[in-house]
Amino acid sequence: MLFYAANASSQSSQVFSWTGTTEYEWVAFEVSSIKASSPRDPGAGSGTSGTSTTATTPSITTFNSTDLVIAAFYSAGALSSPTNSYKLIDSKSGSSRNIAVYGKPVSSTGSQSSAVTVTPSSAWLAMIDAYEKA
């Protein structure tokens, strides 16, 4: 799941708390170019999972021609080579848990998706969302 805080002040550090028995990995990043109020594109926000050498997000349809599309991937395998011109925003690698977050600004509405290579073939999660730029 992708979380965001619209119009948040700049942070040098942040504490996240989670109650429960399930372990989670997090990557936090700051984007300064999205709208301060209601930035999330109403046509966006979806996730899927699988096991293979390619992790693929679902397709979403953006309603704003100025969106920043975010694709996030999680797997025990290494994550590399994003498709559709997505660029790395942040990543976290570990011995059995890898997270990569990619972004892509768009200039028109329409279908958006991305995929990455998973090495070796492993279970993966893929999420995609879009936020309107200011």
Alpha helices, DSSP H, located in 1-134: none
Residue 39's pLDDT is: 86
Please give the chain's pLDDT, 134 residues, in tens.
566 777 677 777 777 676 776 666 666 667 778 888 888 888 878 889 999 999 999 999 999 999 999 999 999 999 999 999 999 988 888 777 899 999 999 999 999 999 999 999 999 999 999 999 88
Range of the domain at 80: 1-134
Using DSSP's 3-state secondary structure scheme, residue 133 falls into strand
Q: How far apart are CA 46 and CA 103, in angstroms?
A: 15
Residues ≥6 apart with Cβ < 8 Å to 2: 45, 70, 72, 127, 129
Structure tokens belonging to residue 28: 């936090």
Nearest to 84 by CA among 63, 113, 62: 113
> What are the two backbone dihedrals, phi and then psi, of residue 18, each rounded to the nearest 5 degrees?
-140, 130
Is pTM beyond 0.75 here?
A: yes
Residue 1's pLDDT is: 55
Where does residue 84 fall: left (phi above 0), alpha (psi -120 to 50 degrees), or beta otherwise?
Answer: left
How many domains does the chain contain in total? 1
Q: How far apart are CA 89 and CA 130, in angstroms?
A: 14
